[in-house]
Chains A and B, each alone.
Chain A
Amino acid sequence: MAKKVGIEAAIAIAEAAALADVDVVSAYPITPQTHIVEHLAHLVADGILNAEFITVESEHTALSAALGASLTGARTFTSTSAQGLALMNEIVYITSSMRAPVVMALANRALSAPINIWNDHSDVMSVRDTGWISIFANNAQEAYDLTFMAFKIGEHPDVLLPVMINFDGFILTHVIEPVVLFGKEDVEGFLPPYDHPYKLDPDRPVTMGPVGLPEIYTEVKKQQDVAIRSSRSVIDAVFKEFAERFGRKYSAVETYAIDDAEVVLVTQGSVTDAACFVVDEMRKRGKKWGVVEIRLWRPFPFDDVGSALTSGKIKCVVVLDRAISFGGPAGIVMSEVRSALYHVPNRPIVIGVTSGLGGRDIMFEDYVRMFELGEEALRTGKEPEMVTIIGVRE
């Protein structure tokens, strides 16, 4: 029976992996992710979850072991943050390239140096181009639902790709929120058994991870790109089935109060709920502002972003980035939004802001400032190339 409990997002994610009856968990402690694997270790130790929990000696091994287990036919889960993901990086690429549907919960955290254990999105942005399906959760319930759905998406025979669920370190990992947890009988039939069509099986020997000479490498990479782009239809179908069965709706791009909005803020992760709160408050003062969240980061939902940001009366789009591309276009999400809108006639102005780096709180007035920068750009007609870092001391 589904029941509503007060629970940390980290624990909810572990419960979602357990609900999926995961076979192998391979993970290494790192703040702020640790509560996930601690909880899974307890579930295994107490016999509640029948799984192998591998206490690996590094994150590089965590993902390597997960990849090996996944391609042997086991449903596999891992979890990490920031430096852990950076250490995994080599295997992050290989996991998607070898089509191993590992599910990873990424408790988003800033990258060193200076070492900082708090939240931003520099870790997920560093693996933007690695071929993983990447989805953002805004709260504990979403983290739970999306982790559970991630197995169904990644393991679908038309997909067979790893899936990364992003949720903000500390802001979600360590905060207790009300979450509806399913009982096994509630989800009966939703998640089919994992059966990879090619696995390490002595009865059907296959060679995995061979040398790809120049004659074949390009074709392999093209296939991989086609695979992740094509996963979109499965992602939408899984979201739809979930909504029909359990009533909670998810989409690639979420919108809030954009029907009459002139300025919208583009967000990812837990800042979305905060931005919506600011919009509600400021609407009382006559500000026609809205929020668009890019929940599905990869495959990037170009059409959805394009249609959301060109709908209604939107004239200016302010994109909030939680990481910096040093010496590049500054706003990583901003440059993608700009490219999604590039060919649109009469497209809105797109400007970028960066905030909330390394755990610095984004205050009410910071959000207001972001929208005001949008209004200012509308007035002057200027569309600065670079982002504005909100609240930086210079």
Chain B
Amino acid sequence: MSEVVRDLKAFAKALVYKNAPKEEYFKRGHRACQGCAPALAIRYILKAAGPNTIVVNATGCMEIISSPFPYTSWGVPWIHVAFENVAAVASGVEAAIKVLKRKGRLDPNKRINIIGLAGDGGTADIGLQALSGMLARNHNVTYICYDNEAYMNTGVQGSSATFTGASTTTTPAGRYSIGQGYWKKNVAEIAASHYVPYVATACPSYPLDLMNKVRKSLEIEGAAYIHVFAPCPTGWGCPSSMAIEVGRLAVETGVYPLYEVERGVWKISYIPPKGLKPIEEYFKTQRRFKHLKKEVVEKIQEKVRAHWERLLMLEKMTNTEEFKEKFVRPFYEVQI
């Protein structure tokens, strides 16, 4: 599976559990906590990307656990520079590859995937400017945010991607505090607003969906952004055996919907057949939401439902012939 599949439809059919890539490019022996979903996500991401891949990694959990010199878990070229500049370093790597191919110092026919990898703090907060620059310039890079909803490496401090109502060490629940007091920043939509060709959300609880989205993003020329919801049992206060279950519940309750925005067209990847589960089912699995009073949960529930409805409307609106005719074709098919 390491060779690149050109036909996306064939690929989508091709990648099923029994022929998912066996090769591991994120090796065993790293120092992640038990049940770490970000580490699991990286394993899937690299299985999908294959060996012709360069990973640019931000400072954060995944960098710390995978590279204590002289050990490394990385079976592909990997570079870590700083916290806030993954998109910037990846831009430079991509520009270098482009010009070296043009000048014949690299084989112009060799496809080299470039993946930027950062946590939610490195993406939604400190790295947002560099990310915006990279997306606006449309570098041929797939930027993947592994979102464990707080600064876990430094000890569970709140980020702007921390879920509303979650208690962290800097947004602690208290007499006058519900925990994180504002709505989770939606970086996938910020990315989509740059009109890049591909944006998606994913979760390692749905590994085939995640791997297919990674493959698709790497196939498409231009910048891509994938936001990966990745539960952190240590920071969220749930048993390490629950990481996959918690991810599923986030999707099934609509707390974290899975979708794609491909050339401006929204497509929800998974619509629970029996409707959304109540968010209590998700909240009760984690200690960080334990303090929330019923009326607060109800208000958050209302917002989650509204967000889901908006998503359904976006999907409906962008999947019409009219939208494709008036926006998608003229905008994405015109090469300036």
What is A's interface to B at a CB cutoff of 8 Å?
23-24, 26, 50-52, 54-58, 60-61, 64-74, 76, 90-91, 94, 98, 200-202, 204-213, 216
Does B102 touch A at the CB level, under 8 Å? yes
CB distance A56 to B76 under 8 Å? Answer: no
Known contacts A56-B88, A210-B72, A212-B69: does B81 contact A72 (CB below 8 Å)? no
CB-CB under 8 A from B84, the residues of chain A are: 60
What is B's interface to A at a CB cutoff of 8 Å?
51-54, 56, 63-64, 67-70, 72, 74-82, 84-85, 87-93, 95-100, 102-103, 105-106, 112, 129-130, 132-133, 136-137
Most chain A CB within 10 A, of B92, B100, B129, B132, is at B92
With both beta carbons as reference points, the residue of chain B lying nearest to A204 in the complex is identified as: B77
CB distance A208 to B78 under 8 Å? Answer: yes
- List 11 additional contacts besides A68-B89, A68-B93, A200-B93; criterion CB under 8 Å: A54-B95, A56-B91, A60-B88, A64-B130, A68-B92, A72-B93, A76-B92, A205-B51, A211-B68, A213-B69, A216-B69
CB-CB under 8 A from A76, the residues of chain B are: 92, 96
CB distance A69 to B102 under 8 Å? Answer: no
CB-CB under 8 A from A212, the residues of chain B are: 69
The secondary structure that dominates the B interface is mixed
Could you give 10 example pairs across A and B, Cβ below 8 Å?
A23-B100, A50-B103, A55-B137, A64-B81, A64-B85, A69-B92, A72-B93, A200-B93, A202-B77, A210-B72
**A64-B56 Cα distance, complex, nearest whole Å:** 11
With both beta carbons as reference points, the residue of chain A lying nearest to B69 in the complex is identified as: A210
CB-CB under 8 A from B136, the residues of chain A are: 57
B111 CB to nearest chain A CB (Å): 10
Known contacts A26-B95, A50-B99, A210-B68: does B88 contact A94 (CB below 8 Å)? no
CB distance A52 to B79 under 8 Å? Answer: no
Most chain B CB within 10 A, of A65, A91, A202, A204, is at A65
**A50-B102 Cα distance, complex, nearest whole Å:** 9
**A76-B99 Cα distance, complex, nearest whole Å:** 11
**A201-B96 Cα distance, complex, nearest whole Å:** 12
CB distance B130 to A57 under 8 Å? Answer: yes
CB distance B100 to A61 under 8 Å? Answer: no
CB distance B76 to A205 under 8 Å? Answer: yes
CB distance A23 to B130 under 8 Å? Answer: no
With both beta carbons as reference points, the residue of chain B lying nearest to A212 in the complex is identified as: B69
B299 CB to nearest chain A CB (Å): 37
CB-CB under 8 A from A54, the residues of chain B are: 91-92, 95, 137
CB distance B82 to A24 under 8 Å? Answer: no
Known contacts A52-B95, A61-B130: does B53 contact A202 (CB below 8 Å)? yes
CB distance B95 to A209 under 8 Å? Answer: no
**A208-B80 Cα distance, complex, nearest whole Å:** 6
A59 CB to nearest chain B CB (Å): 10
CB-CB under 8 A from A57, the residues of chain B are: 129-130, 132-133, 136
A128 CB to nearest chain B CB (Å): 21
**A297-B70 Cα distance, complex, nearest whole Å:** 34
CB-CB under 8 A from B75, the residues of chain A are: 205
CB distance B69 to A26 under 8 Å? Answer: no
CB distance A211 to B103 under 8 Å? Answer: no
CB-CB under 8 A from A58, the residues of chain B are: 129-130, 133
**A236-B92 Cα distance, complex, nearest whole Å:** 31
A52 CB to nearest chain B CB (Å): 4
